[in-house]
Structure 1
Amino acid sequence: MACTAPKTSSAPPGQSRPRLYVLDGLRFAAALLVVAYHYITLRDGWGEDPKAISSSVYRLSEYGWLGVEIFFLISGFVICMSGWGRSLGDFVASRVSRLYPAYWAAVLLTAAVLTAFPDVRSAGGWQNILTNLTMLQEGVGVPDLDDVYWTLFVELKFYLLFAIVIFRGVTYRRCVLFCGLWTVAGIFSQGSHNELLASWAVSQYSPYFIAGIAFYLMHRFGPNALLWCIVAVSFLLAQHYVHGRLVTNLGAKADLVEEWPARLVILVTFALMGALALGVFDRLQWRWLAAAGNLTYPLYLIHMYVGFTLIALLRHHVPAELLFPAVTAFMLAISWVIHRYVERPIGRKLRQAMIRSMKEMRANSTDQHDRPHTPDPTEVGIRSHAERTGRPKVHIP
């Protein structure tokens, strides 16, 4: 969700690869899929079956949850790219400054709306709101203020796992090893009944992150049989979990919904990422896609319960066919405001502050044995006296 398309990629010395604008467009499309799924398929804001918007649109929106899987696939690509050649401290500074400013704004906005209009959902009290500001609420058993935040906790797990690679130094071999070990962990977690392993293996979603890493390695170094095997295994495992994801998102209606459209969307997304990795879209330089991509993260964070509340307030006054696009457009406008006046300026300052902090930490963490030793004048005098007299050196406590 919080990934930015790379401006340049690996290229021969003296040359730079063009920005991958297609990633921005793919992220924006994924966000719109999630918005459509929430606003059209779910009843929270409408108070009744929202099929009245359009039966055909309703059927399509039932697969909008796949936007999350697309986000995870892109995240694997971009995080591998952004971690290359960086120290762990720089990576942490980059992720913190990217994730938190817009998230803080979204939490405060959502809390304010749900406090003022609690009909759709309650904010849950100040303790709940404050804990949600950490983005770690799921880890301490506190409910998400907005249901979409669960994906951020999955992203954080991926960042922490991949941070091990960054700490050692990101290399082709270590990335491949990481993909292999995480795949094995995801497989064994299914039957292990080990909650800790299952929690960190996130087997339903790890195939997307892993495939994203493999696609980036293709993009950087070129395709080969090993990378295609990683992608193929990840694709097949992703297909394995489709039914479970349908049940999670549609509940009892999952048995009434065809699975093949979901499987087709996953196939098309993998194909698009493969084409991107091979440079097929390098010449596609539509700058407006970058502007759309900038709205993705704020839109994802604020759209759900703020949008549900607006729908609940206006559903008896505005036809559903107009209300859905109007609320979506309003959410896009707020997303632009958050990006322009919160995410960019605060993110820049937070990143600078984090980098300074990392530098200070490194400077003040130098091993004492590595520092030049400046002898104490008294000690020098005693040592000289010992050398002259041959007596043992006097110990100064």
Structure 2
Amino acid sequence: MNKPQIRAHGLLDLLRLVAAWLFYSSTIFFHGSYLSPLLVHGYPEAGSLAIYGYMGVNLFFLISGFVIAWSAEGRNWTEFAAARFARLYPGFLVCMTASFVVQTLAANPTLPYDPSTWAANLFIVAPAFNRPFVDGVYWSIVLEIVFYGWVAIALFFGVFSRWKLQLGAAWLLMSVLNESVVHSTALQMVFITQYAPYFAGGIIAQHIVAKGSSTEALLLLAAAFLLSCKEVTAGADWMQAHFGFSPPLSSLLAANVIVYALFGGALLLRRRIAPTPLVLVLGGLTYPLYLLHQKIGTLWLNALSPAVGRWVALAIVLTALLSASFVISFFIEKPIRKPLISLLLPRLNMMASKLRLDRPA
């Protein structure tokens, strides 16, 4: 791994840490305060701030665009695919199975806890098999996989690095057309048009960091931001439909500015703040914590709150989830990643060669 990639990984751990704590701290209150069936004993003290929790996902998608664009540099499509699978799937498999087991033991009435549900979730896209997600947060993992697929296709044709800005511009244009004119659910899923401003914004930001700013890149980044503001207005409509109210549009737009400001600030400070070992450790917890926090977290909170109180229960559950995330990250995910890539890559290359799909990056 070359030096730019090493520096990038330190930066990305710091970015993930910022996103994860924003997301987790707000999402637990968002779910508890507004999705009442999840938490029996909610946290009304969170008040009107809780509803902004869902925007943590937007920050994750923004970071993902940057992360994936950086990790794709210098790789062909088989190397990229093997690396993404090794990064995503082992942690997902462990966390999904743990969540399924906990909900099965708890006899969670919201989940048809039979083996077919677990088996369908092995493929991540469980609704395609007419089975529910084991945990509702998996919808965002599906969008990540769709995004990875398009990056792999661009790497296959050798255009990802050379046409990064053109691809970003085309994606943003498609987002405008579908979200404003066509309104196709199929296009929204296949091209992730609802969240394209965040993914594309991250890709364009990575291009600027790696190759320097240009008028075209800055204009595209500005366009991504403006389109994300439109997506936020759609979020307001969603909240109105589901909860009967939504925050003022001005407040949602301000929250979107904060999302981009956190992302941009971390990029601007990348040479001034060296990631410490603690930051790298905590950054590694973000993926398993995201996968575990919703269903397992709320089940534990519901069980503990009557006995020890809501806030003590929250402290216990958060400590338990962080501990479980540490074990998964450092004793399962990290040790298996390189051996899994070494196992997968020759097989992918062999398959690509047989199918004449072995184009260079």
The residue that corresponds to 2:61 in the other structure is 72
| Alignment gaps of 5+ in structure 2 | none
User: Which one of 126, 143, 146 corresponds to residue 115 of structure 2?
Assistant: 126
Q: Does structure 2 conserve the Cα–Cα contact (< 8 Å) formed by 1:73 and 1:208?
A: yes
Shift of 1:272: 3.4
Q: Is residue 56 of structure 2 the alignment partner of residue 63 of structure 1?
A: no
The residue that corresponds to 1:385 in the other structure is none
User: Which one of 292, 301, 312 corresponds to residue 302 of structure 2?
Assistant: 312
- The alignment covers a number of residue pairs equal to 353
Closer, same or farther: CA 170–86 of 1 in aligned 2, 3 Å: farther
What is the root-mean-square deviation in Å for CA atoms of aligned residues?
2.6
Higher helix fraction (1 or 2): 2
Q: Does structure 1 conserve the Cα–Cα contact (< 8 Å) formed by 2:175 and 2:193?
A: yes
Q: How does 1:9-88 map to 2 (within 5 A)?
A: 9=4, 19-20=10-11, 21-32=13-24, 33-47=26-40, 50-52=42-44, 54=45, 57-88=46-77
Describe the superposition over 1:67-87 as per-residue Cα deviations: whole angstroms up to 9, x where unpaired: 100000000001011011101
Q: Is residue 150 of structure 2 the alignment partner of residue 179 of structure 1?
A: no
Name the aligned partner's letter for residue 19 of structure 1.
Answer: G
Q: Is residue 129 of structure 2 the alignment partner of residue 105 of structure 1?
A: no
Percent of matched pairs sharing the same residue: 25
**Take 2:298 and 2:112, find their aligned partners in 1: how far apart are those partners?**
14
The residue that corresponds to 1:381 in the other structure is none
Higher deviation after alignment, 114-123 or 199-208: 114-123
Describe the superposition over 1:145-164 as per-residue Cα deviations: whole angstroms up to 9, x where unpaired: 11000001111111111222
Q: Is residue 139 of structure 2 the alignment partner of residue 150 of structure 1?
A: yes
**Take 2:102 and 2:315, find their aligned partners in 1: how far apart are those partners?**
20
The residue that corresponds to 2:195 in the other structure is 205
Higher deviation after alignment, 126-135 or 33-42: 33-42
Describe the superposition over 1:303-338 as per-residue Cα deviations: whole angstroms up to 9, x where unpaired: 111111111212211211222232122111111111
**Take 2:3 and 2:47, find their aligned partners in 1: how far apart are those partners?**
39
User: Which one of 213, 217, 220 corresponds to residue 227 of structure 1?
Assistant: 217
Describe the superposition over 1:266-304 as per-residue Cα deviations: whole angstroms up to 9, x where unpaired: 212223333444x43312013122111100000000111
User: Which one of 135, 145, 148 corresponds to residue 159 of structure 1?
Assistant: 148
**Take 2:239 and 2:109, find their aligned partners in 1: how far apart are those partners?**
19
Describe the superposition over 1:14-69 as per-residue Cα deviations: whole angstroms up to 9, x where unpaired: x9778315313223224423344334543234325x244x2xx2322221111100
**Take 2:239 and 2:343, find their aligned partners in 1: how far apart are those partners?**
40
What TM-score results when the alignment is normalised by the length of structure 1? Answer: 0.81
The residue that corresponds to 1:241 in the other structure is 231
The residue that corresponds to 2:79 in the other structure is 90
Closer, same or farther: CA 88–258 of 1 in aligned 2, 3 Å: same
What TM-score results when the alignment is normalised by the length of structure 2? Answer: 0.88
1:65 aligned counterpart, secondary structure: helix
**Take 2:328 and 2:239, find their aligned partners in 1: how far apart are those partners?**
28
**Take 1:147 and 1:155, find their aligned partners in 2: how far apart are those partners?**
15
Q: Does structure 2 conserve the Cα–Cα contact (< 8 Å) formed by 1:62 and 1:250?
A: no
Describe the superposition over 1:199-252 as per-residue Cα deviations: whole angstroms up to 9, x where unpaired: 223222110000000100110011121111111111111111213224435754
Name the aligned partner's letter for residue 10 of structure 2.
Answer: R
Q: Is residue 291 of structure 2 the alignment partner of residue 301 of structure 1?
A: yes
**Take 1:105 and 1:76, find their aligned partners in 2: how far apart are those partners?**
25
The residue that corresponds to 1:395 in the other structure is none
| Alignment gaps of 5+ in structure 1 | 1-5, 368-397
